[in-house]
Amino acid sequence: MPRTVILGVIGSDAHVVGITILEQALSAAGFEVENLGVQTSQAEFVEAAKAHDAEAVLVSSLYGHARQDCEGFHERLEAAGLDVWTYVGGNLAVGQDDFETTRETFREMGFDRVFDAETDPEEAIAALRQDLQLTTTEAERVRVDG
Ligand code: B12
């Protein structure tokens, strides 16, 4: 069974390169990826997670307005009856904030994992494998079977 993850750039943000790389890496690692692209609303993330019975939602934000764009996101997921892993990553704050402070802010908002802009896609893949309790063997089988 392929494990489905939702990926997208939230809010009015149009930076597309990061999620394109993430999509390729996640697909190569055997995940079924629904890439919603840039300028995705909270409602679109929630609808896609429901429609595809996703196990994780990966939110990207580069332009510095992630906190505002993600406000109330977990309440929406909960209202839709969704219990999914949530990751957020990118340039999450404006300027050069201390990343630990940023991480704490997003953890308090409900995100399970928070990644900075230096994140290698392999780190996100390793985290997903751990959180979804996916063994390497299962991931490889998914990749082989397509
Ligand atoms: C290219 C670029 C643009 C292009 C985007 C073209 C496109 N369609 O993608 C254009 C010129 C349009 C642009 C516009 C703007 N940009 Co710009 N842009 C960049 C730039 C130079 C590179 C971004 C990029 O492609 N990086 C390469 C990819 C591979 O890396 P990445 O995006 O960081 O993604 C990786 C990681 O972050 C991580 N990741 C990302 N998301 C997630 C999510 C999860 C869950 C995980 C696990 C990991 C993860 O994994 C990715 C792959 O390795 C950066 C500066 C920089 N060096 O990063 C600024 C930058 C992101 N932009 C910035 C700004 C301010 C803007 C504008 C607001 C400028 C303006 N005033 O108009 C606008 C916003 C427009 C909009 N509506 O989005 C700022 C953001 C500042 C901040 N957050 O504090 C930056 C950091 C530049 C700077 N130093 O000031 N931009």
- Each residue of 41-55: pLDDT tens digit? 999 999 999 999 999
Instruction: Give yes or no for residue 145 having a pLDDT over 60.
Output: no
Chosen CATH of 4-141 out of 3.40.50.280, 3.40.50.620, 3.40.50.300, 3.40.640.10 = 3.40.50.280
Instruction: Give yes or no for residue 24 having a pLDDT over 80.
Output: yes
Q: Is 14 in the pocket of ligand 1 (CB under 6 A)?
A: yes
Instruction: Give yes or no for residue 144 having a pLDDT over 60.
Output: no
Q: How far apart are CA 45 and CA 101, in angstroms?
A: 25
**8 and 37 in contact (C-beta within 8 Å)?**
yes
pTM of this prediction? Answer: 0.95
**Residue closest by Cα to atom 3 of ligand 1:** 15
- Cα distance between the two ends of the chain: 10
Instruction: Give yes or no for residue 138 having a pLDDT over 60.
Output: no
- Confirm whether residue 92 is marked as ligand binding: yes
**108 and 65 in contact (C-beta within 8 Å)?**
no
Q: How far does the centroid of ligand 1 lie from the alpha carbon of residue 105, in Å? A: 20
Q: How far apart are CA 86 and CA 74, in angstroms?
A: 9
Tokens of 93: 């704050």
Q: How far apart are CA 132 and CA 136, in angstroms?
A: 11
Tokens of 75: 């309440």
Q: How far does the centroid of ligand 1 lie from the alpha carbon of residue 66, in Å? A: 12
For the stretch 80-131, pLDDT in tens is 999 999 999 999 988 766 899 999 999 999 999 999 999 999 999 999 999 9
Q: Where are the domains of the chain?
A: 4-141
- Confirm whether residue 12 is marked as ligand binding: yes
- Atom in ligand 1 nearest the alpha carbon of residue 95: 84
